[in-house]
Amino acid sequence: MKLQTTLACLSLLLASSLHADLVLEVQTIELKPKPEDETIQTDFIFHNKGSKPVKVLSIDSACSCLSASLDKAIYQPGEKGVGKADFKISSFIGRHEKSVHIQTDDPAQSEWVIPFIIEVPEIIKIEPKTLQWWVGEDGSAQVTRVTMTGTEPMHIVNLTSTRERVQFSYKEIIPGKEYEITVKPTDTKEVMLGALKIETDSKIPKYQRQLSFFSVYRRPAAEPTPAVKP
């Protein structure tokens, strides 16, 4: 009887320590699309390093741009799994951190988060992206710099505004590489939100039209106004 009791206790202790442990082969999944890519897919490998089978209940993505699937629903201890991820690039540019959340039936690992880093090369940089003035304040001209950072030269071929109450022009600093756009509101009496449409001769359709924004807006109440010089 003592032996049975001891075995039962050991079984209980063992059962309480069993858990699933889904682990990626790499720390983070990195995706590096080309400038012209619209989507990028990748496979990733993971293991159940735990001591208990685990069942995948659902897969959620923190971004609608990223979807993922796994090759099966239940992974035995020590079993290798393969997942597929699909990222829609659309207008994403630069470095983005996204994640996929896997819900499992194991309370010890009820959610497994798979981290992704996506680096979309930037071949046109607009700085600043938004020019800003305050209603009733100084309406001096401001400058946006457009830099073609890709390997191929790219030229601005046209520039238009969505608003009439601004004066704008562009100047070529380095042909095919660097441009300056100067914008000046005709007045700052009223709120105005607008955009400049920058047309380029890029061979990649999504870079043929870029937008930069400008605003004449109400200064937020909380922000202190600068002292007026006597």
Partner 1 sequence: MKTALRQALLLILLASAAGAAAFWLHPQAPALYLTEEPLQPDEITYKDLSQRWQGDVLWLDARTQDQYAIAHIPEARLLNEQKFDDQLLEMLDILQTNTKPIIIYCGGQKCEASRHVREKLLSRVPIEHEKCLVLKGGFPAWQAAQ
CB nearer partner 1, residue 101 or residue 184: 101
Identified binder of partner 1 from the candidate list 34, 49, 55, 88, rule CB under 8 A: 88
Residue 23 binding partner 1, by CB under 8 A? no
Residue 185 binding partner 1, by CB under 8 A? no
Give the whole-angstrom CA distance, residue 158 versus residue 52.
63
| Nearest distance, CB of residue 117 and partner 1, angstroms | 14
β-pairing verdict for 74-75 and 124-127: unpaired
Which part of the chain contacts partner 1 (CB under 8 A), choosing from 28-36, 39-47, 144-152, 185-193?
185-193
| Nearest distance, CB of residue 183 and partner 1, angstroms | 15
Which part of the chain contacts partner 1 (CB under 8 A), choosing from 29-37, 41-49, 101-109, 152-160?
101-109
Spatial strand order of the sheet with 94-104 comes to: 29-31, 111-120, 94-104, 54-61, 74-75
Using the CB atoms, write b or e for 72-111: b if 16+ within 10 Å: eeebebeeebebebebebeebbeebebbbebebebeebee
Q: What is the CA radius of gyration of the chain?
A: 28
Chain position carrying tokens 């020019």:
131
Which part of the chain contacts partner 1 (CB under 8 A), choosing from 2-10, 40-48, 76-84, 172-180?
2-10
Residue 49 binding partner 1, by CB under 8 A? no
Report the site for partner 1 in 125-184 (rule: CB under 8 A).
129-130, 132, 162
| Nearest distance, CB of residue 22 and partner 1, angstroms | 12
Q: Is the dihedral of CA 180, 185, 190, 194 positive or negative?
A: negative
* Dihedral angle over CA of 26, 32, 38, 41, nearest 10: -20
β-sheet bridge partners, residue 83: 44, 70
Element (H, E) at 5: helix 2-17
Residue 222 binding partner 1, by CB under 8 A? yes
Find all residues with CB under 8 Å of 36, minimum gap 6, and list them: 204
| Nearest distance, CB of residue 83 and partner 1, angstroms | 18
Residue numbers at the binding site for partner 1 (CB under 8 A): 1, 5, 8-9, 12-13, 16-17, 19, 60, 62-65, 88, 90-92, 98, 101, 107-110, 129-130, 132, 162, 191-195, 210-211, 213, 215, 217, 219-222
